[in-house]
A and B are shown apart, each in its own frame.
Chain A
Amino acid sequence: MMLLDERGLRMHEYSVVQALLERVDAEAEARGATAVNRVQLRIGPLAGVEIDLLESAWQLCRIHTPCEEADLEIVRVKTRWTCPLCRRVIAIGGELRCDRCGIPAQLTEGDELVLERVELEVP
Chain B
Amino acid sequence: MPVEIQENLLADNDRVARHNRVHFAQQGVLAVNLMGSPGSGKTAILEATARAVPERALGALSGDLATDNDASRLTAVGIRSKSITTGSACHLDARLVHDALHQFPWRELQLLFIENVGNLVCPAVYDLGQDVNVVVLSVTEGEDKPLKYPVMFLKADLVLLTKVDLLPHLPGIRIEVIERALAQTMPEPDLIPVSAVTGEGVDRWIEWLDARTKVLAAVGD
Contacts and interface: CB of A to CB of B under 8 A. Distances in A.
30 contacts: A9-B90, A11-B90, A12-B91, A12-B125, A15-B91, A16-B9, A19-B10, A31-B1, A46-B151, A47-B151, A48-B122, A48-B124, A95-B183, A95-B184, A96-B187, A97-B183, A97-B187, A104-B187, A107-B187, A114-B8, A115-B7, A115-B8, A116-B5, A117-B3, A117-B5, A117-B6, A118-B2, A119-B1, A119-B2, A121-B1
B7 A114 contact: yes
B126 A12 contact: yes
Contacts of A11: 90, 122
Interface of B: 1-13, 65, 88-91, 93, 119, 121-122, 124-126, 150-151, 154, 183-188
Contacts of A94: 184
B90 A41 contact: no
Contacts of B93: 15
Interface string A67-95: 00000000000000100000000001111
Interface residues of A, number: 43
Nearest to B3: A118
Contacts of A113: 8-10, 125
Contact of A27 (B3, B10, B12, B88): B3
Interface of A: 5, 7-12, 15-16, 19-20, 22-23, 27, 31, 33, 41, 46-49, 81, 92-97, 104-107, 111, 113-122
Contacts of A118: 2-3, 5
Contacts of A16: 9-10, 125
Contact of B4 (A104, A111, A117, A122): A117
